[in-house]
């Protein structure tokens, strides 16, 4: 088997390979710290599994997933990230990921996730499964930010962190007018007037 590991931290990549080899000793690995290179590799070669972080230079994990899905690429993708599960898990699964898992999990849960995905199934944590079941059973409506598109959500988080439109444009490789458009959409969908209200909203709901 051959796995691709894409994470912008070298120590994380090496640590993952060491952990995975304990349960899958015959696995071969390719690695990259660049989202752009990860996408190029996934287009050029068939891997048994790709393990991606969400936050990477040039192209993030969500954008890679969207691009692969649009190209009908069938390589299974496990998102392994430090980003909060409650904010990103459902988004990455909808984008086409085979599983979502936090970097703080124990090694045996990572092995369980990999085995399940390699068998052709999806993997979600027990806590996420319980949350999904709870949402269905209590009939609760979605919070306003859950109605944002992936890109709008990403821009919202940057704005809530105090970044300017120019800084966000540089970070996301978008034009300033495009980011301004996303900002306006976010404020409209959340029924907020300005960045200060947006920051208060995000802090209150622990989105930043």
pLDDT digits (tens, 9 = 90+) for 12-45: 999 999 999 999 999 999 999 999 999 999 999 9
CA separation for the pair 80, 92 (Å, rounded): 11
Average pLDDT score, the chain: 86
Give the side-chain half-sphere CA count within 13 A for 68.
32
How far apart, in Å, are the Cα atoms of 165 and each of 10, 129, 190, 199?
30, 36, 18, 14
Q: Would the pTM of this model clear 0.85, i.e. be above it?
A: no
- Eight-state DSSP code of residue 146: G
pLDDT at 177 over 60: yes
pLDDT at 136 over 60: no
Q: Look up the CATH number of the domain holding residue 120.
A: 3.40.50.2300
Domain match, 8 and 60 both: yes
| % of residues, the chain, pLDDT over 70 | 91
Cβ contact 65:95 at 8 Å: yes
Handedness of CA 58, 66, 101, 204 (dihedral sign): positive
pLDDT of residue 5: 96
CA separation for the pair 83, 139 (Å, rounded): 26
Last residue of a domain, one of 115, 135, 155: 135
pLDDT at 79 over 60: yes
CA separation for the pair 13, 33 (Å, rounded): 8
Q: pLDDT per residue over 93-115, tens digit each?
A: 888 899 988 887 777 789 999 99
pLDDT at 189 over 60: yes
Higher-confidence position of 189 and 3: 3
Here the tokens at position 55 are 């936050």
Domain match, 131 and 149 both: no
Domain match, 124 and 176 both: no
CA separation for the pair 43, 62 (Å, rounded): 16
pLDDT of residue 172: 84
pLDDT at 134 over 80: no
Helix axes 176-190, 165-172, angle to 10 degrees: 110
Q: pLDDT per residue over 48-75, tens digit each?
A: 999 999 888 788 888 899 889 889 898 9
Q: Considering its fold, how many domains does the chain have in total?
A: 2
Last residue of a domain, one of 135, 152, 185: 135
Owning domain of residue 37: 2-135
What does the angle CA 66 – CA 70 – CA 73 come to, to the nearest 5 degrees? 95
Q: Look up the CATH number of the domain holding residue 182.
A: 1.10.10.10
Domain match, 131 and 148 both: no
């Amino acid at each position: 088997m051959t796995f691709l590991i894409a994470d912008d931290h070298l120590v994380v990549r090496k640590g993952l390979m060491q952990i995975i080899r304990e349960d899958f000793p015959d696995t071969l690995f390719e690695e990259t710290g660049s989202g752009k290179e990860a996408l190029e590799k996934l287009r050029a070669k068939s891997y048994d599994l790709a393990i991606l972080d969400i936050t990477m230079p040039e192209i993030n994990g969500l954008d890679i997933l969207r691009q692969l899905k649009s190209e009908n690429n069938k390589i299974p993708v496990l998102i392994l990230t430090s980003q909060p599960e409650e904010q990103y898990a459902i988004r990455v699964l909808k984008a086409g990921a085979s599983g979502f898992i936090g970097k703080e999990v124990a090694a045996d849960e990572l092995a369980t996730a990999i085995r399940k995905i390699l068998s052709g199934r999806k993997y979600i944590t027990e806590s996420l499964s319980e949350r999904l079941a709870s949402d269905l059973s209590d009939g609760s409506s979605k919070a306003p930010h859950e109605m944002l598109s992936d890109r709008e959500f990403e821009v919202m988080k940057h704005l809530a962190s105090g970044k300017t439109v120019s800084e966000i444009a540089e970070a996301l490789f978008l034009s300033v007018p495009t980011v301004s458009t996303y900002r306006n959409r976010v404020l409209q969908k959340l029924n907020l007037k300005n960045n200060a209200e947006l920051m208060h909203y995000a802090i209150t709901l622990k989105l930043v």
